[in-house]
Structure formats: structure tokens, C-alpha cells
Amino acid sequence: MRVAEGFAKRGWMPPTTTPHFVDLYVGARLRGRRRSLGLSQAHVAKAAGVTFPQLQKYERGANRISASKLYALAAVLRCGVAWFFEGLPDTAPDASAASAPGNGWGGMVHPLLMHPEGLALVRAFQPLPPNCKAQVLALVRALVDEGS
């Protein structure tokens, strides 16, 4: 008998759903905060009392973070627990709307901040004066148009 069949006979099956949008959002905030502080996953995991693989799962949104672990992570990352939820939409984003260009955290911001280059770009962009930001944006759009 296969394992899944044994679970089914007992009336329980392992979950096969995708992560909840809140878990994805909190995980992305966790990863972004850790990276912005220049901390390694190993350091944060040890300081918060979780394993390295567990922290990776938290950051991907694959596992939910318990209240006590979120509290510990907030202490390590020097922020409040509420910080992880700032900017969270009131309702689940529509999958098609979230992936539309220029729309919300789900389709554009999350993937950008998951790459070291994206985070570096955001850090470098923030202190620029408004006229320089407009020029950088025009350059990026021109590069995108040239590539397509």
C-alpha cells in the first residue's frame, strides 16, 4: 500500500494547494528585510531558533510562520511583528490582475525583490532626485522596447 492510499483510508490527505497569498507576502517581507540588513539565512535562522531549511520555506511562503516564530524573527530583524503585514491587501489579489504589468506586489514587486539585482536596483533608485528617477525609468523602458 502506498503512503497516500494509507492517508486516504484514514480520511486525511496531505495538502496539495498552493501557498496562501498572505504567507507569500509575509515570506517576501521576511526575505527583503533580511537582505536589506545584509544578514545571511543561516544567521537569522540560528538567532530565531529555526533550522536553515525552515527559514527558506518561510521566505518562499511554503510554510506558515507561527506567531511565536514571527515574534522571534521580528526581534532578530529589528522590526515589529506588524511590519510583516504592512501594505498587505485587504482581500486576496485576483491571479490575473496580480500578474498584470504595473499591478501590485503579487505580479511585479515580489519577483523583483527576490533577486539580488532587483534589490540592488531598488536601493540605488531610492535616493535619486525625481528628475534622475524619470531618466532611469525612461532608460529602462527603452531597454525593454529594444529587447522585444
Q: What is the pLDDT of residues 88-130, one digit of tens each?
A: 877 766 544 444 444 444 455 666 666 677 777 877 888 888 8
Of the candidates 98, 93, 119, the one whose C-alpha atom is nearest the C-alpha of residue 29 is: 119
pLDDT at 72: 97
pLDDT at 51: 97
Q: How many CA atoms lie within 13 A of 97 on its CB side?
A: 6
- Taking the C-alpha atoms of 64, 31, 119 and 114 in order, what is their torsion angle to the nearest 10 degrees? -40
Mean of all residue pLDDT scores within the chain: 80
> Whole-model pTM?
0.60
Instruction: Output the pLDDT for position 56.
Output: 95
How does residue 4 score in pLDDT terms, banded at 50, 70 and 90?
low
Percent of the chain whose pLDDT exceeds 70? 71
Q: Is the pLDDT of residue 45 over 60?
A: yes
What's the confidence (pLDDT) of residue 123? 77
* pLDDT reading at 145 higher than 50: yes
pLDDT at 133: 86
For residues 138 and 12, give the distance between their C-alpha atoms in angstroms, rounded to a whole number.
54
Q: Record the cell numbers describing residue 26, joined without a space.
A: 509575509
Locate 54 and state its grid cell: 525552515
Mean pLDDT of 38-44: 96
